Amino acid sequence: MPSAAGDKLWIIPDGYIPEISSGTLTSHESICVLNTASEDAHLEITIFFEDRDPIEGIAETVPGRRTRHIRTSGLKNNAGEAIPVGVPYAIEVKSDVPIIVQYSRLDSTQAENALMSVMAYPIK
């Protein structure tokens, strides 16, 4: 049977949704998750800011043996709170089964796009 791999708590300190897009690509960020287990992974995402309390309780699911590349601009909790654009923030991803998390950003503020990517930091 396929086995779970990775960790249950991951951190990305540098989150930022660019305000502007130009050229043919849209600026965006993705939280890329792999769930190697056979059961679903239930994520609970918290968003931290510089000058206000965190947005808590954002729920997402990654099915077993699947990846999901989740755009941060679509994240919302039950109260309808979403991440504002153009504001520095940080991301915590909790899961009930071990997963692996990578974060990537495409910035097309200027006509040609720029890319960055990091493996998220696992808390053991």
Nearer to a second copy, 2 or 96 (CB): 2
CA distance 72 to 82: 9
- Closer by beta carbon to a second copy, 64 or else 82: 64
For a second copy, the closer CB: 74 or 88: 88
Write out the residues near a second copy by the rule CB under 8 A.
5-6, 9, 11-14, 16, 23-25, 30, 32-34, 36, 48-51, 53-54, 65-69, 88-90, 92, 100-102, 104-121, 123
Instruction: For the chain, give percent helix, strand, coil, nearest 5.
Output: 0, 55, 45
To the nearest whole angstrom, how small is the minimum distance from the Cβ of residue 80 to a second copy?
A: 21
